[in-house]
Amino acid sequence: MKSVSVKKRPVVAACMLAVAGMLTGANASAEQKTLYLGMNGGDMQRGFEEHVFPAFEKANNVKIVVVPGTSTDVLAKAQAFKDKPQMHIMFLDDGIMNRATKMGLCEPIKDDKALSELYPETLIGKNMAAGVVTTMTGLSYNTKLFKENNWAPPTSWKDLADPKYKGKVVFQSVASSTYGLHAFMMLNRIDGGDDSNYQDALTKFKDTVAKNVVAYIPSSAKISEMTQTGEAALFPLTPTAIYSLKEKNLPVEYVDPKEGSVLLAVAQCVIANNSEPELAQKLASYLLSVPAQEGALKFGQYPSNKNVAAKTEHKELLGDFEKYMKHVVVVDWDSINKVRPKLNRDWKEQIER
């Protein structure tokens, strides 16, 4: 009997260990939750997945899955599933986020401490949404073309109308791009208009800047190609986008116009009635924190948290950002969004027809 017992014991023990292992694996799998986050794809998605999300995923045994798309795409998805949200958090450009908060798509961010550390310009609806990263729209130019033509770097938004750039200006559509809208609104302000009155500026644009435009593009995606082919000499863009293009060895540079660049916060909101409200709030707080935003700085994303301090290799980057923020222009999104549908129609009929 003793010998039989000895022979069976290892077999029984092995079976028990195998079952225990299966149960442990099953429990671990069951415990890991998934959060879905709508945001721009491409370089921004890759940067967050590499430098920002992993620490939160590890600490909270959660998987963050990006739902990629433009701000307009992400907003449309949130609207379509308003009654049963498929996402937990979304990143939108600040102008579109302003609309989202008024549609009842967001719930308040509950971490008052995290919100208090942000640049106040990046807060939307007090605590309904907040900047995850901050940038600004200014002027960018093709350094190769400028050198070949012996042109000095641009200094003003009005340089877009300089006749020497005829056929070399690329302009993002006001109807589909925040960059194009920002540039147009700055030209409007310079000529005495405001964010709710644009008609005179539209007429002037048609007679000046429009004569220099080689192409109206729906987004900035074609800038890379048009820079390489020499079609694009001057265009509205952000320093963060220029950082990405320079990483690809493209001959581009950013200029902060003397009238100021226009604030562009990529804002986050926690989607109302989502399936994981506590975990989504926890992720929102983390994304506003110094560690998360230091991670974003590693791939050229400026912070919205004022307490972020750059490591040696990013000091120049952060220094440039702080310089731009000293005279950044903040547009009135409430006024713009009221006239935006008519502006989009007028732009397509009078400019892009």
Please report, for the domain that includes residue 248, its CATH number.
3.40.190.10
- Looking at the domain assignment, is residue 2 inside a domain? no
- Tell me, yes or no, whether 142 and 234 share the same domain: yes
Q: Is 110 exposed, middle or buried (0-12, 13-18, 19+ CB in 10 A)?
A: middle
Write a three-state SS string for 49-111: HHHCHHHHHHHHCEEEEEEECCHHHHHHHHHHCCCCCCCCEEEEEHHHHHHHHHCCCEECCCC
| Long-range contacts of the stretch 226-230 (C-beta < 8 A, 24+) | 226/170, 227/142, 227/251, 227/252, 230/142, 230/144, 230/145
Residue range 71-99: mean pLDDT, rounded = 96
Q: How many residues does the chain have?
A: 353
Whether the model clears a pTM of 0.75, i.e. scores above it, the answer is yes
- Tell me, yes or no, whether 69 and 115 share the same domain: yes
- Looking at the domain assignment, is residue 148 inside a domain? yes
**Domain encompassing residue 160:** 136-262+332-350
pLDDT in tens, 35-83: 999 999 988 999 999 999 999 999 999 999 999 998 989 999 999 999 9
E strand or H helix at 263, and its extent? strand 262-271
pLDDT in tens, 127-156: 999 999 999 999 999 999 999 999 999 999
Whole-number pLDDT of residue 25: 47
Residue range 282-309: mean pLDDT, rounded = 94
Q: Cα 23 to the chain's mean position, in Å?
A: 42
- Tell me, yes or no, whether 237 and 188 share the same domain: yes
- Tell me, yes or no, whether 121 and 151 share the same domain: no
- Tell me, yes or no, whether 206 and 76 share the same domain: no
pLDDT in tens, 319-348: 999 999 999 999 999 999 999 999 999 999
How would residue 312 be classed by pLDDT, with cut points 50, 70 and 90?
low
The pair of structure tokens assigned to 121 is 């310009």
Q: Which residues of 17-52 are buried (b: 16+ CB within 10 A; e: fewer)?
A: eeeeeeeeeeeeeeeeeebbbbbbeebbbebbeebb
- Of 91, 100, 43, whose CA–CA distance to 67 is shortest? 91
Whole-number pLDDT of residue 4: 42
